[in-house]
A and B are shown apart, each in its own frame.
Chain A
Amino acid sequence: MKTITALAVSLSLITASAFAETSQEKGLGIAKAADARDTGFQDFTADMQMILKNRAGKTSTRSIRIKTLEVLGDGDKSMSLFDTPADIKGTTMLTYSHGLKPDDQWLYLPALKRVKRINSRNKSGPFMGSEFAFEDLGSQEVEKYRYNYLRDEPCGQGWTCHVIERKPAYQYSGYTRQVVWIDNKEYRPTKIEFYDRKNSKLKTLVSSGYREYAGYWRPARMQMDNHQTGKSTTLNWNNYTFKVGLRASDFNKNAIKRR
Chain B
Amino acid sequence: MKALMLVLSAMVAMPLAANDIEVSGNVGVEARYFPQDALYPGQEDGGLSLSIQPEFRRQWDNGRKSLTFIPFYRWDEKDDERSHGDIRQLDFTMASDNWEFQAGVGKVFWGVTESQHLVDIINQTDTVENFDGEDKLGQPMLRMTRFLENGSIGLFVLPYFRERTFSGAEGRLRSPLVVDTDNATYESADEEQHVDVALRWEQTLDSVDLGLSYFDGTARDPEFNQVGSTLVPYYRQIQQLGLDLQYTGDAWLWKLEALRRENADTGYNAAVGGFEYTFAGITETGADLGAIAEYHVDSRDELATSPLQNDVFLGARLALNDAESTELLAGTILDLDNSSKSFRVEASRRFGDNVKVNLEAQVITDTDAEDAILHGLRNDDLIQLEIQRYF
Chain A residues with a Cβ under 8 A of chain B: 52, 54, 60-61, 84-89, 102, 104, 112-119, 121-122, 124-126, 128-130, 133, 171-172, 174, 244-247, 249-250, 252-255, 258-259
Question: Which residues 279-330 of B sit at the A interface, judged by CB distance below 8 A?
Answer: 280-281, 285-286, 288, 321-325
The 10 A-B residue pairs with the shortest CB-CB distance, nearest first, are A86-B390, A122-B280, A129-B323, A125-B286, A87-B356, A114-B109, A113-B109, A126-B286, A121-B250, A113-B107
A112 in contact with B109 (CB, 8 Å): yes
Give me 21 A-to-B residue pairs in the complex whose CB atoms sit less than 8 angstroms apart, sorted by A's number.
A60-B323, A86-B24, A86-B391, A87-B26, A87-B350, A87-B390, A115-B109, A117-B253, A121-B251, A125-B321, A126-B286, A129-B324, A130-B323, A244-B62, A247-B97, A249-B98, A252-B147, A254-B145, A255-B95, A258-B63, A259-B59
Does B248 lie at the interface of the complex (its beta carbon under 8 Å from any beta carbon of A)? yes
B353 in contact with A86 (CB, 8 Å): yes
What residues on A are CB-neighbors of B350 within 8 Å? 85, 87
B204 in contact with A250 (CB, 8 Å): no
A254 in contact with B95 (CB, 8 Å): yes
B152 in contact with A124 (CB, 8 Å): no
Nearest neighbor of A229 in chain B, beta-carbon distance: B285
Known: A85-B350, A122-B278. A258 touches B95 (CB 8 A): yes
User: A254–B148 Cα gap in the complex (Å)?
Assistant: 11
What residues on A are CB-neighbors of B250 within 8 Å? 102, 119, 121, 171-172
What residues on A are CB-neighbors of B145 within 8 Å? 254
Does B346 lie at the interface of the complex (its beta carbon under 8 Å from any beta carbon of A)? no
Judged by DSSP, the binding face of A is loop
B354 in contact with A254 (CB, 8 Å): no
Q: Which of these, A84, A125, A130, contacts B280 with CB under 8 Å?
A: A125
What residues on A are CB-neighbors of B325 within 8 Å? 85, 87-88, 128-129
Please give the distance in Å from B211's CB to the nearest CB on chain A: 10
Does B209 lie at the interface of the complex (its beta carbon under 8 Å from any beta carbon of A)? yes
Nearest neighbor of A79 in chain B, beta-carbon distance: B63
Does B252 lie at the interface of the complex (its beta carbon under 8 Å from any beta carbon of A)? yes
User: A257–B142 Cα gap in the complex (Å)?
Assistant: 16
User: A60–B350 Cα gap in the complex (Å)?
Assistant: 11
Q: Which of these, A61, A104, A258, contacts B66 with CB under 8 Å?
A: A258
Does B100 lie at the interface of the complex (its beta carbon under 8 Å from any beta carbon of A)? yes
Task: Supply 7 further A-B pairs (C-beta < 8 A) apart from A102-B250, A128-B325.
Answer: A86-B390, A87-B350, A87-B390, A114-B111, A121-B278, A249-B98, A252-B150
Nearest neighbor of B68 in chain A, beta-carbon distance: A259
Question: Which residues 236-261 of B sit at the A interface, judged by CB distance below 8 A?
Answer: 246, 248-253
Nearest neighbor of B348 in chain A, beta-carbon distance: A87
What residues on B are CB-neighbors of A174 within 8 Å? 281
User: A121–B279 Cα gap in the complex (Å)?
Assistant: 9
Does B80 lie at the interface of the complex (its beta carbon under 8 Å from any beta carbon of A)? no
What residues on B are CB-neighbors of A88 within 8 Å? 325
A253 in contact with B204 (CB, 8 Å): yes
Please give the distance in Å from A232's CB to the nearest CB on chain B: 12
Nearest neighbor of A245 in chain B, beta-carbon distance: B62
A84 in contact with B353 (CB, 8 Å): yes
Does B93 lie at the interface of the complex (its beta carbon under 8 Å from any beta carbon of A)? yes
User: A245–B112 Cα gap in the complex (Å)?
Assistant: 33
B253 in contact with A119 (CB, 8 Å): yes
B62 in contact with A54 (CB, 8 Å): no
Which residue, B100, B323, B390, B391, has most C-beta atoms of chain A within 10 A? Answer: B323
Known: A60-B353, A113-B107, A254-B152. A125 touches B323 (CB 8 A): no
B286 in contact with A124 (CB, 8 Å): yes
Please give the distance in Å from A100's CB to the nearest CB on chain B: 13
B390 in contact with A124 (CB, 8 Å): no
Please give the distance in Å from B323's CB to the nearest CB on chain A: 4
Known: A86-B24, A87-B356, A119-B250. A250 touches B62 (CB 8 A): yes
Does B371 lie at the interface of the complex (its beta carbon under 8 Å from any beta carbon of A)? no
Known: A86-B391, A126-B321, A249-B97. A172 touches B280 (CB 8 A): yes
User: A102–B100 Cα gap in the complex (Å)?
Assistant: 30
What residues on B are CB-neighbors of A113 within 8 Å? 107-109
Nearest neighbor of B150 in chain A, beta-carbon distance: A252
Please give the distance in Å from A169's CB to the nearest CB on chain B: 16
Nearest neighbor of B63 in chain A, beta-carbon distance: A258
Nearest neighbor of A110 in chain B, beta-carbon distance: B55
Question: Which residues 214-249 of B sit at the A interface, judged by CB distance below 8 A?
Answer: 246, 248-249
Known: A86-B391, A89-B24, A125-B321. A246 touches B147 (CB 8 A): no
What residues on A are CB-neighbors of B147 within 8 Å? 249, 252, 254
A117 in contact with B209 (CB, 8 Å): yes
Question: Which residues 327-342 of B sit at the A interface, judged by CB distance below 8 A?
Answer: none
Q: Which of these, A85, A104, A129, A245, contacts B354 with CB under 8 Å?
A: A85
What residues on B are CB-neighbors of A112 within 8 Å? 109, 134
Please give the distance in Å from A104's CB to the nearest CB on chain B: 8
A253 in contact with B26 (CB, 8 Å): no
B252 in contact with A85 (CB, 8 Å): no
Does B388 lie at the interface of the complex (its beta carbon under 8 Å from any beta carbon of A)? yes
Please give the distance in Å from B97's CB to the nearest CB on chain A: 5
User: A201–B78 Cα gap in the complex (Å)?
Assistant: 58
Does B202 lie at the interface of the complex (its beta carbon under 8 Å from any beta carbon of A)? yes
What residues on A are CB-neighbors of B280 within 8 Å? 121-122, 124-125, 172
What residues on A are CB-neighbors of B251 within 8 Å? 119, 121
Residue-by-residue, is B8-42 near A (CB-CB < 8 Å gives 1, otherwise 0)?
00000000000000001010000000000000000
Please give the distance in Å from B345's CB to the nearest CB on chain A: 19
Please give the distance in Å from A207's CB to the nearest CB on chain B: 22
User: A118–B24 Cα gap in the complex (Å)?
Assistant: 27
Q: Which of these, A60, A85, A171, A258, contacts B64 with CB under 8 Å?
A: A258
